[in-house]
């Protein structure tokens, strides 16, 4: 789906997919009813690299933006653009109809919620700090006990993409709160997905996406080391690495269907053949004198699955081993 200036999805479905039938878990409207030109007050707590980008996007969209940071002196650029800096968290929460928190880790969010004190009663809070699902759920309990309405959010893009059509945000929690503030949050640009009312869901998807990302980056770097050992530059190899991406994209669709269906057909490839190919990578890596752990991991998974009698199955069979501690 092309990314417009304002799109969102609910439960993984795009706004165009869900119109006019809506998932029962959400009452979110598919079209923002509030124009971004209509100024709404928003407070941003935490002015690190990301908090500053969020505050700048709200200011650009014309929202009355109040900011607070633990260490003073980080708001001057924003104040120059019209932000109002306050001295306490409580003042920030009181100043706006929506408070966005973006700090570093669960302890920091707890410190912010504690500092807000009684001011949390009746407040609307969207916490966009990265966390584990368990931390997200615990923070939601803390905020809601203090009387706040609470949305957990995760930012899926780096700071330069905040406020652009390429932004991407995952939310979980209070669907009515999301709907109420969707037009304000739209200032952050791109797509906003409400994943469900379980506050841990945005963190879960965030970490799972990072799992794909970091393993993909590590695989590329290992490949770069492998070709590099033979004098081929990473840049020269890049175009060939990129040719794997569409194949991987297609393959993931098949893997997902196999995993969900519990069936692992091996008619296109099978684990015995995969293990041989992976063995070649391990062997070539060892011969080149480079690290072998990256290709050895999938090779060892294939060997273990074959050892369980699944040699004729496809690669998706490996999920059985990943569902339990391998070592």
Ligand X SMILES: NC(=O)c1ccc[n+]([C@@H]2O[C@H](COP(=O)([O-])OP(=O)(O)OC[C@H]3O[C@@H](n4cnc5c(N)ncnc54)[C@H](OP(=O)(O)O)[C@@H]3O)[C@@H](O)[C@H]2O)c1
Q: Based on CB atoms, which residue is closest to ligand X, 115 or 259? A: 115
Q: Based on CB atoms, which residue is closest to ligand X, 111 or 297? A: 111
Contact flag: residue 158 with ligand X (CB under 6 A): yes
Query: Which one of the spans 31-39, 78-86, 100-108, 258-266 is the region binding ligand X (CB under 6 A)?
Result: 100-108
Q: Find all residues with CB under 8 Å of 163, minimum gap 6, and list them.
A: 53, 56, 57, 60, 61, 187, 188, 189
What contacts 24+ positions apart, CB below 8 Å, involve 1-8? 3/165, 3/166, 3/190, 3/191, 4/165, 5/165, 5/186, 5/189, 6/32, 6/186, 7/190, 7/191, 7/192, 8/182, 8/186, 8/191, 8/192, 8/193, 8/194
Among 11, 48, 216, 254, which residue interacts with ligand X (rule: CB under 6 A)? 48
Among 74, 199, 264, 317, which residue interacts with ligand X (rule: CB under 6 A)? 74
Stated as kind and residue range, the H or E segment containing 125 is strand 124-127
Among 21, 24, 33, 71, which residue interacts with ligand X (rule: CB under 6 A)? 71
Tokens 């650009």 belong to 60
Residue 78 Cβ, how far from ligand X at the closest point, in Å? 12
Q: Based on CB atoms, which residue is closest to ligand X, 43 or 130? A: 130
Among 1, 49, 121, 208, which residue interacts with ligand X (rule: CB under 6 A)? 49
Contact flag: residue 55 with ligand X (CB under 6 A): no
Helix 201-228 with 234-242: angle, nearest 10 deg: 130
Among 10, 40, 112, 282, which residue interacts with ligand X (rule: CB under 6 A)? 112
Contact 120, 144 (CB under 8 A): no
Helix 133-145 with 201-228: angle, nearest 10 deg: 150
Tell me how far apart the alpha carbons of residues 165 and 163 are, in angstroms, rounded to a whole number: 7
Among 111, 138, 207, 221, which residue interacts with ligand X (rule: CB under 6 A)? 111
Among 9, 69, 99, 285, which residue interacts with ligand X (rule: CB under 6 A)? 69
Tell me how far apart the alpha carbons of residues 272 and 283 are, in angstroms, rounded to a whole number: 16
Residue 189 Cβ, how far from ligand X at the closest point, in Å? 14
Per-residue x/- mask for ligand X, residues 280 to 309, rule CB under 6 A? Answer: ------------------------------
Residue 9 Cβ, how far from ligand X at the closest point, in Å? 19
Among 28, 43, 65, 130, which residue interacts with ligand X (rule: CB under 6 A)? 130
Among 42, 61, 103, 125, which residue interacts with ligand X (rule: CB under 6 A)? 103
Q: How is residue 20 annotated by DSSP?
A: S
Q: Based on CB atoms, which residue is closest to ligand X, 207 or 244? A: 207
Residue 95 Cβ, how far from ligand X at the closest point, in Å? 17
By the criterion CB under 6 A, which residues form the site for ligand X?
46-51, 69-71, 74, 102-104, 107-108, 111-112, 129-130, 155, 158-159
């Amino acid at each position: 789906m092309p990314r417009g200036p304002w799109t969102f999805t609910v439960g993984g479905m795009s706004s165009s997919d869900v119109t006019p039938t809506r998932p029962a878990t959400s009452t979110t409207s598919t079209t923002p009813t509030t124009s971004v030109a209509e100024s709404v007050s928003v407070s941003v707590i935490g002015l690190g690299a990301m908090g500053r980008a969020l505050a700048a996007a709200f200011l650009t969209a014309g929202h009355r933006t109040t900011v607070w940071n633990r260490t003073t002196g980080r708001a001057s650029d924003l104040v120059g653009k019209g932000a109002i800096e306050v001295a306490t968290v409580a003042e920030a929460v009181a100043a706006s109809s929506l408070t966005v928190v973006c700090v570093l880790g669960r302890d920091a969010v707890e410190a912010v919620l504690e500092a807000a004190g009684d001011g949390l009663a009746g407040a609307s809070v969207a916490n966009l700090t990265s966390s584990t699902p368990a931390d997200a759920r615990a923070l939601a309990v803390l905020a809601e006990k203090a009387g706040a309405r609470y949305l957990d959010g995760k930012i899926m893009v780096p700071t330069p993409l905040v406020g652009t059509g390429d932004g991407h945000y995952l939310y979980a929690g209070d669907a009515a709160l999301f709907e109420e503030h969707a037009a304000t949050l739209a200032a952050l640009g791109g797509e906003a997905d409400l994943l469900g009312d379980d506050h841990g869901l945005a963190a879960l998807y965030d970490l799972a996406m990072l799992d794909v990302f970091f393993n993909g980056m590590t695989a590329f770097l290992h490949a770069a080391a492998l070709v590099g050992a033979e004098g081929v530059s990473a840049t020269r190899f890049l175009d060939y690495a990129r040719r794997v991406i569409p194949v991987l994209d297609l393959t993931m669709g098949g893997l997902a269907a196999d995993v969900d269906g519990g069936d692992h057909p091996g008619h296109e490839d099978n684990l015995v053949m995969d293990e041989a190919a992976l063995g070649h990578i391990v062997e070539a890596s060892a011969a080149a004198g480079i690290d072998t752990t990256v290709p050895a991991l999938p090779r060892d998974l294939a060997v273990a699955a074959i050892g369980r009698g699944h040699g004729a199955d496809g690669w998706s069979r490996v999920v059985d081993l990943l569902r339990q501690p391998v070592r």
